[in-house]
Amino acid sequence: MLKITNAKFITSAASKSQFITSEKPIIAVSGKSNVGKSSFINALAGQKKLARVSQEPGRTRLINYFDFGQFILADLPGYGYARVSKAEKAKWAQLLDDFFKVGGAKHVIALCDIRHEPTEDDRLMVDFMYSTLMPFNIVATKADKLSRAQQYRALSVIAAAYKCGRGDIIATSAQTGQGLDRVREEIEKVISVNSCDAP
Taking only the tens place, the pLDDT of each residue in 108-136 is 999 999 999 999 989 999 999 999 899 99
Q: Above pLDDT 90, what percent of the chain?
A: 73
Candidates 174, 145, 155, 166; CA nearest to 50 is 174
| Confidence label for 21 from pLDDT (cuts 50, 70 and 90) | very high
pLDDT tens sequence across 144-177 = 999 999 999 999 999 999 999 999 999 999 999 9
Q: Do residues 73 and 66 lie in contact, with contact meaning Cβ atoms separated by under 8 Å?
A: yes
Dihedral in degrees, nearest 10, Cα atoms 147, 144, 120, 90: 170
Q: Which of 124, 107, 142, 136 is nearest to 36 (CA)?
A: 142
Over range 63-74, report the average pLDDT: 96
Q: Note the pLDDT of residue 47.
A: 93
Supply the pTM of this predicted model.
0.92
Beta bridge partners of 73: 27, 66
Q: How far is CA 43 from the centre of its chain?
A: 13
| CA 77 remoteness from chain centre | 10
